[in-house]
Amino acid sequence: MFDFIKRIDAKGYRPKFGGEDILKFIGPGLLVTVGFIDPGNWASNLAAGADYGYTLLWMVTFSTFMLIILQHNVAHLGIATGLCLSEAASIHFKPRCSNLVLSSAMLASISTSLAEILGGAIALNMLFDIPIRAGSFMVLVFVAIMLYSNSYRMIEKWIIAFVSIIGLSFIYELSLVNIDWDHAIYSWVTPSFPNGSMIIIMSVLGAVVMPHNLFLHSEIIQSRQWNLKDEKVIKKQLKFEFFDTLFSMLVGWAINSAMILLAAATFYKNGVQVTELQQANHLLEPLLGGNAVVVFAVALLFAGIASTITSGMAAGSIFAGMYKEPFDLKDNHSRLGVAISLVIAFLIILLISNPFNGLLISQMVLSIQLPITIFLQVKLTSSEKVMGKYKNTFFTRTLIYTIGVIVTILNIMLVISFIV
């Protein structure tokens, strides 16, 4: 599988599950978090803060709650079965059904890669005035080198570093503005629907839970696999996974919140409307100075690169799973899956005249596919044949189906809003 260190009892090792092991378990969730703070989220969050101030902070809390439940559930599949979501679908469903579903997931991965590459290219345009198409090619080449020349462990370390840089960048940005913390705290926990805000609310809620992240998490959580036979070990792993997921999703919640806080304290306060990322970059300079602009663009660049890497990994996992194989960048199916997602996304970018419209179209594709992945997940994780004693309880199954229905409705409304 991966080049992971697997600790098996047969080799004489029993994990102690102490503080050191807990820290070692943190990582897979942060790779998922990258998709939660990708360029698409940047645009939505900045628009939310610029148009409505602190009022829509609650949607970050609500979407993060949904994300924790879904990612925690799909990670259980990987731990309990040793299979990723794609592998499990290929093994337990008829080929015609699994191939159709997984092909739609590959299309969603291509759409995701398109948005992530565009985000990195926009950042390069902000920093160095590099044309979008040239910047997209540079992002593609860098990501391909990262994926094909590094082990998973090394990629994970790079991603953690990228997330840390993004977080520190927003801490710096927030230090330059005055935040109304009383209003912010109230808005984090109090739903509000200002006039005309539904499109932004739906775009954020519909984009936070991304199909490729569900496939990715079920795969990379196995990097922390110690033993698939010892029930005590599996239960410990499930607890550690929840800690990793909870911690990582809270990091994503904090960064997304920081985007809205920054926009509310700058653009909304000064009556400035933001519709594009490049526009936000130019508007920040007279309000916060040149350093803030550079930090903003650098953070966006790292977000674009990191999310492109994880999107490519997810595509490799999905494609390899179609052949009932685990993700392994030394395997041709995994490598081909990565290439299909990144190269096709880049070729589509070459045909796009308006990058912002490209981001919108990519979100529409994700909106259509997302419910399919959620219902695929709950079908597998609720099956005793697949999960054994670790199958979903009635409460968990009902909760995830409810989330699936909500996401379906929101995404249908989002697609309609784009068309109309």
Q: CA 163, CA 306: separation in Å to the nearest integer? A: 8
Retrieve residue 13's tokens. Answer: 């090792």
User: What is the model's pLDDT at position 90?
Assistant: 94
Whose tokens are 């490598």? That residue is 335
User: What is the model's pLDDT at position 371?
Assistant: 87
Q: Which of 58-72, 343-357, 384-398 has the lowest mean pLDDT?
A: 343-357
Largest CA distance in the chain: 65
User: What is the model's pLDDT at position 318?
Assistant: 95
How do residues 79-118 score in pLDDT, each as one tens digit? 888 888 999 999 999 988 999 999 999 998 998 899 889 8
3-state secondary structure of 400: helix
- CB-based contact 90:323 (threshold 8 Å): yes
Whose tokens are 């919140």? That residue is 257
Does this model's pTM top 0.95? Answer: no
CA atoms in the 13 A half-sphere facing the CB of 17: 15
Measure the CA dihedral 74/78/79/80, to 10°.
Answer: 90
Mean per-residue pLDDT, 137-162:
87
Closest by CA to 27, choosing from 8, 44, 2, 45, is 2
* Most trustworthy range by pLDDT among 19-23, 306-310, 351-355, 358-362: 306-310
The total of other beta-carbon atoms located within 10 Å of residue 393's CB is: 9
Model confidence at 201, pLDDT cuts 50, 70, 90, reads confident
11 has pLDDT over 60? no
User: What is the model's pLDDT at position 271?
Assistant: 82
Bigger pLDDT: 38 or 402? Answer: 402
Spell out the domains of the chain, with CATH numbers in brackets: 15-419 (1.20.1740.10)
Mean per-residue pLDDT, 384-388:
91
Model confidence at 415, pLDDT cuts 50, 70, 90, reads low
- CB-based contact 399:135 (threshold 8 Å): no
User: What is the model's pLDDT at position 3?
Assistant: 40
How many whole angstroms from its chain centre is CA 180? 29
Distance spanning both ends of the chain, measured CA to CA: 46
Whose tokens are 């993700």? That residue is 327
Exposure string for 346-374, b = 16+ CB within 10 A, e = fewer: bebbeebeebbebbebbbbbbbbbbbbbb
* Most trustworthy range by pLDDT among 212-226, 261-275, 335-349: 335-349
- When the pLDDT of each residue in the chain is averaged and rounded to a whole number, the result is 82
290 has pLDDT over 50? yes
Read off the DSSP letter of residue 193. -
User: What is the model's pLDDT at position 228?
Assistant: 57
